Amino acid sequence: MGRNKEFDTTVVLRKAMEVFGHYGYEGTSLQILLDGLGIARQSLYDTYGTKKDLFISAVKHYTNEKSAAVLTRLDRSGSVKAAVADIFREIAAVLKDEARRKECFIMHSAIDQVPHVPEIAAFFEQDASRLEEAFYQALVRAYEQGELSERHSDLRALARYLNHSRYSLTQAAKLTSDPKVLDDIVKVTLSALDS
């Protein structure tokens, strides 16, 4: 019994990503936040807790979603190089889409808060090691399948590089609105796997 929630909490969470991504965590005043979410002050506090709580929830939700997509693709059998190419081209596609790119910028605000919010620091550390390991295992499989040449001696370094490059594309997107630049960066990034 009682009234039902009127808004979809994950839809609002997505709006929070956009707002925090645009203004940064500290740059987002409560008023800006509420305007962006389209809900009332009390609804925010009842549903998500404080501004910081909402921020952490949004960061985690965003990261989990993106990481899950990467893990899924890497776990598919078949060409690993094709899977990695898929992953990066998908990221580029999102960053070139005026509507979908907005929420990605919460990543930038989140990295900003790493030194000040231990919970976010710990979360990113765990996520990064999980992803690095997934890339590494995929690269081992690629090697066994004969997809890599003797040029790729250090698969650990390659795994770290791929995971880092994933994040850094968002930064590039914030600095340029030219889709060609993003495509160029992805193209050269992927060439690290060429023979």
Judged by the rule CB under 7 A, the positions of this chain that interact with DNA are 1-7, 28-32, 39-43, 45-47, 50-52
Give the count of beta carbons closer than 10 Å to the beta carbon of residue 14: 18
Residue 176 makes contact with a second copy by CB under 8 A = yes
The answer to whether residue 141 forms part of the interface with a second copy (CB under 8 A) is no
We find the least distance from the C-beta atom of residue 95 to DNA, in angstroms, to be 27
Binding residue (CB under 8 A) for a second copy from 68, 116, 119, 145: 116
The answer to whether 185 contacts a second copy (rule: CB under 8 A) is: yes
Please, are residues 137 and 77 in contact by the beta-carbon 8 Å criterion?
no
Is residue 119 a contact residue for a second copy (CB under 8 A)? Answer: no
Instruction: Kindly indicate which of the ranges 9-17, 47-55, 85-93, 174-182 contains the residues binding a second copy, using the contact rule CB under 8 A.
Output: 174-182
Nearer to a second copy, 3 or 180 (CB): 180
Query: CA 84, 171, 33, 94 torsion: positive or negative?
Result: negative
- Under the criterion CB under 8 A, does residue 5 sit at the interface with a second copy? no
User: Do 152 and 193 touch, CB atoms closer than 8 A?
Assistant: yes
- Nearest-angstrom CA–CA distance, 103 and 18: 4
| From the list DNA, a second copy, none, partner contacted by residue 188 (C-beta under 5 to 8 A by kind) | a second copy
Q: 153 touches which of a second copy, DNA, none (CB within 5 to 8 A by kind)?
A: none
Listing DSSP states for 52-73 in one string gives HHHHHHHHHHHHHHHHHHHHHH
User: Which of these segments, 3-11, 37-45, 56-64, 107-115, binds a second copy (CB under 8 A)?
Assistant: 107-115
Q: Answer for the pair 142, 148: CB distance below 8 angstroms, yes or no.
A: yes
Three-state DSSP class for 110?
Answer: helix
Residue 48 C-alpha from the chain's centroid: 21
Within 26-154, residue ranges assigned H as helices are: 30-37, 41-48, 51-75, 80-96, 106-113, 118-144
Could you say whether residue 76 binds a second copy (CB under 8 A)?
no
Report the chain's terminal Cα–Cα distance, integer Å.
64
Which chain residues interact with a second copy by CB under 8 A? Answer: 22-27, 108-109, 111-112, 114-116, 124, 128, 151, 154, 156-158, 160-161, 164-165, 167-168, 171-172, 174-176, 181, 184-185, 187-189, 191-192, 194
